[in-house]
Amino acid sequence: MATVVGTIFSKLVNMKVRPLNDIFIAGGREKTVFLDLIGGLNGINAVQTDDEAQFITGAEYELETADATRLRTEAESVTGVTPSATDDVNFTNGLQIHQESVKISDIALGQMGITSLNIEESQALIESKLDNEIVKKMGVIKRTANITFLANTDVIIPTSETVKGQIRGLSKVGELGFDTDLSAAALTKEAIEQHVEDMVDNGALFNDPVIVCRLGEKRKLSKVYDLSANAGNTPSRNVAGQNLTQIVTESGVTFTIVPDQDAPVGELIFSELEALSIAGLEVPGKGIIYSFSPAQTGASQQETIQAVIGLDHGPYRLHGRVSNYTDPV
């Protein structure tokens, strides 16, 4: 029988009752800046999917033209105007299956407290080899999610049980929102300012905007906005326990720079943080992230961990991307 390991569920097999995030805090060393920023694996929202394993990330309606031609004469107000309808637009993303498995001999299971994660605060939580291996496997899921959530290309919806599903990553979402291809020209402040203005015209809100990029791209961005010359006055903010640098554009929009080495090389991804979260398929009676024990063979214990998750990003217009640029002069 499966045993749930999510934060609002029961427990791991052969472990004390405790939420999964306690184990992450104690033993997880994986650096997943973006994933942590949008809630981490302990902040997954349950979603419903259609028959094609897609979920709705946002729904909007197309705006009709609003101008002086929509004003009416008295005669028109009496006879009534011709009815019209607006089209609804749904934005979707897919889900992908993460599954990892561990197998520990009964002899190793008896070695309590002898683990590679048994350091500092981890000593109170990681009590066995099985615990140790589960934490490391959860780290693999966490890293894989961070990489694919950022760099995946377009969504792949499985056409059969043998086809691997894939979500649409944030880079692709930015491309579909508003993509500025600089055609191998140097990155400049003017190009970024124009991109921000174009995103506003395209419907971006910028309530809590971020720029996600690799450290190398952050250095280029810092040079463009001359952040080193104003190091003492550079604005910053703390998000999910991380102190992040900010830039203020000439249009008055303040962007928080999120450096993550899993972001694609040569890209600046402009995104609305409020629209981003992790979606998960909740299995009845099991949860979103859960473990189960296959049939035992021999003197060993095997655990399999599974999570079916995806990136919830909202409407495309909230995001953008600057790409194909060279180093600033």
Say what the pLDDT of residue 16 is: 30
Q: Which domain holds residue 295?
A: 3-52+93-163+278-308
Q: Specify the CATH number for the domain of residue 257.
A: 3.30.2320
Token pair, residue 254, equals 């303040």
Q: Do 225 and 267 belong together in one domain?
A: yes
**CB distance 246 to 235 below 8 Å:** yes
Q: Do 181 and 157 belong together in one domain?
A: no
Q: Do 289 and 149 belong together in one domain?
A: yes
Residue 64 included in any domain: no
Does the pTM surpass 0.85? The reply is no
Token pair, residue 299, equals 């003197």
Q: Do 41 and 147 belong together in one domain?
A: yes
**CB distance 313 to 275 below 8 Å:** yes
The three-state secondary structure class of 123 is helix
**CB distance 105 to 130 below 8 Å:** no
**CB-hemisphere CA count at 13 Å for 197?**
8
DSSP state of 53: S
Q: How many domains does the chain have?
A: 2
Q: Do 27 and 142 belong together in one domain?
A: yes
Say what the pLDDT of residue 228 is: 77
Q: Do 184 and 227 belong together in one domain?
A: yes
Q: Do 105 and 235 belong together in one domain?
A: no
How far separated are the first and last CA of the chain, in Å rounded?
61
Say what the pLDDT of residue 122 is: 45
Say what the pLDDT of residue 27 is: 38
| Tens of pLDDT, residues 246-280 | 999 998 999 999 999 999 999 999 999 999 999 99
Q: Do 251 and 104 belong together in one domain?
A: no
Q: Do 114 and 243 belong together in one domain?
A: no
Residue 67 included in any domain: no
**CB distance 195 to 241 below 8 Å:** no
| Tens of pLDDT, residues 205-240 | 999 999 999 999 999 999 999 987 666 677 888 876
Token pair, residue 36, equals 């942590």
**CB distance 197 to 249 below 8 Å:** no
The kind and range of the H/E element at 210 are strand 209-213
Residue 87 included in any domain: no
Q: How far does Cα 322 stand from its chain's mean position?
A: 19
Residues (pLDDT < 70) of the chain are: 1-30, 51, 111-128, 229-232, 240
Q: Do 322 and 199 belong together in one domain?
A: yes
Q: Do 254 and 127 belong together in one domain?
A: no
Q: Do 145 and 242 belong together in one domain?
A: no
**CB distance 267 to 220 below 8 Å:** no
Residue 84 included in any domain: no
The kind and range of the H/E element at 327 are none
The amino acid at 248: V
